[in-house]
Amino acid sequence: TLYDLVIRNADVVTASERFACDIGVKDGSIVALGRDLAAGDREIDATGLLALPGGVDAHCHLDQPLPDGLKMADDFFTGTRAAVCGGTTTVIPFAAQEKGQSLQAAVDDYHRRAEGRAVADYAFHLIVSDPTPEVLERELPELIAAGYTSFKIYMTYDDLKLSDREILEVMDVARRHRALVMVHAENSDCIAWLTDKLTDEGHHAPKYHAVSRPAVAEREATHRAIAFSELVDVPILIVHVSGKDAIEQIEWAQRRGLNIYAETCPQYLYLTAEDLGGEDGYHGAKCVCSPPPRDTDSQKAVWNALKRGVFSVFSSDHAPFSYDDPQGKKPGGEEVSFEHIPNGIPGLETRLSLLFDGVNRGKLSLNKFVELTALNPAKLYGLYPRKGTIAIGADADIVLWDPERQVTIRNAALHHNVDYTPYENRTVHGWPMHCLSRGELLVENGRYLEPKVGRGRFLAAGKPQLLDL
């Protein structure tokens, strides 16, 4: 037959269009969009549902080895299982270089972690923590050519951060080889100084995590990264932007015509510093992530900046640590001082529905939703047009959404391996009902169908496709 699968009566939404049609799938690709397509070997009736491109989550951490006996709760299997159940069919986690390690050794290590485990397709960003001459002159150029066209650098964390000089060197490699640098922008010395002051004064509760990482420390580093981007003349992307101070810097740069892209995440729309708790109690550790969530004014600024196009990408920053876990939020089984709580929260499965809820509340359009969650990350990270849209020739990564369905988020119903969600008991409108990856139905009516573990494929990324700002 002409089609392995036909999705009937789809209400297709891309970043720029909305149209009613049938979708014909053959050998994992979309081969036809039209009315009254011939019968397929298999048919799905999508009446009443929206057909959206599978989500691309361009920022998540899976199975990253960590010091001090910590361990991420999700590996490539449980993480990508959660992803597809939430409507995300492509993930771009990190292959992190440890200091002293070659980049290639890091890449090989992460391929071993992903291979035979992932159920969604995946590419990798590199994390460059040790930019030796060998890394800058040979490894990075070779890896860029081999399909690793984006890398994250850190301005904070002792085991990851680069000096200003090193940042300039890495950015210059990106300029020469047309790669995209992602920047974690927080001022390391401000945080260290504040942390020492707070702990000297006897402040240890999780809430002080947010006090030790104020918006001004993020604002300063954001501005500095922007200045370096201008100096080197290379586009960059600021990851996990938390609120209005950093947004102001980014808009200032964009108005000057600089190619400063930005990403934000669900926690900055739905959480505030208050979720880190008060003077007593430890449950706030569940919302410890960096940068920390801010206040309701910043939440509004983030929604507004999403709508206005200041942000190009909406990612989860899934960094999974279980709460009641000596390898997670209670290191060694203890309720530790804030500076020892592992940074990060889970979000792969809830990313899309949390943003979709905003569509239903008029915070952004459906087309913008698709642009932020699928099209733009696919373009910026070199996966378009195979990923990120519904078009002839694209992979048949399609999510059928029920835009009206109300779901109250409960961790017990999620598919990650984390023992909590920061969004417990929150009700969202709109839910991904069916999820297809390369034409294979992985989730049906919200039920995970247990596809072959390891079916997910590595995607060698092409060069970033820059967006108009």
Query: Would you say 272 or 290 has its CB closer to ligand DUC?
Result: 290
The torsion angles phi and psi of 196, rounded to 5 degrees, stand at -65, -45
52 or 265: CB nearest ligand DUC: 265
Closest approach, Cβ 429 to ligand DUC, in A, equals 28
| 101 sits near Zn ion (criterion: CB under 5 A) | no
Question: Which of the listed partners (ligand DUC, Zn ion, none) does 337 bind, with a CB threshold of 5 to 8 Å by partner kind?
Answer: Zn ion
Q: Taking a C-beta distance cutoff of 8 angstroms, is the pair 12, 4 a contact?
A: no
With CB under 5 A as the contact rule, the residue among 113, 117, 125, 184 that binds Zn ion is 184
Q: Which residues of 188-215 are buried (b: 16+ CB within 10 A; e: fewer)?
A: bebbeebbeebeeeebbbbbbbbbbbbb
The item of Zn ion, ligand DUC, none sharing an interface with residue 125, based on CB under 5 to 8 Å by kind, is none
Q: With CA atoms as reference, report the closest residue to 125 among 313, 381, 457, 316.
A: 381
Could you say which of Zn ion, ligand DUC, none residue 123 binds, taking C-beta under 5 to 8 angstroms by partner kind? Answer: none
CA dihedral 104, 107, 113, 118 (to 10 degrees): -150
∠ CA 373-375-381, rounded to 5°: 95
Least Cβ distance, residue 319 to ligand DUC (angstroms) = 4
Which lies closer to ligand DUC via its Cβ, residue 330 or residue 434? 330
| Amino acid (one-letter) located at 90 | T
Single out the segment in contact with Zn ion by CB under 5 A; choices: 15-23, 99-107, 159-167, 315-323. 315-323
- Choose the binding region for Zn ion from 9-17, 208-216, 314-322, 447-455 (rule: CB under 5 A): 314-322
Residue 94 or residue 148: which is nearer to ligand DUC going by CB? 94
φ and ψ at residue 44, rounded to 5 degrees: -125, 130
Task: Please report how close the Cβ of residue 441 comes to Zn ion at its closest, in angstroms.
Answer: 30
**Separation CA 329–CA 238 (nearest Å):** 26
CB-nearer residue toward ligand DUC: 346 or 432: 346
Site for Zn ion in 330-369 (CB under 5 A): 337
| Smallest separation, CB 317 to ligand DUC (Å) | 5
CB of 348 vs Zn ion, minimal distance in Å: 12
- The least distance separating ligand DUC from the CB of residue 154, rounded to whole angstroms, comes to 8
> Interface with ligand DUC by CB under 6 A: which residues?
61, 184, 239-240, 289-290, 317, 319, 343-344
DSSP label at 397? -
**Is the distance from CB of 79 to CB of 320 less than 8 angstroms?**
yes
Q: What is the DSSP string of 70-113?
A: ---S--HHHHHHHHHHTTEEEEEEEEEPPTTS-HHHHHHHHHHH
Which residues fall within 8 angstroms of residue 53, CB to CB, at 6 or more apart? Answer: 14, 370, 374, 375, 387, 388, 389, 390, 394, 397, 398, 399
| Residue 240 vs 434, nearer CB to ligand DUC | 240
Closer residue to Zn ion, CB minimum distance, 74 or 317: 317
Q: What is the dihedral of CA 442, 447, 452, 454, to 10 degrees?
A: 80
Residues that bind Zn ion (CB under 5 A): 184, 317, 337
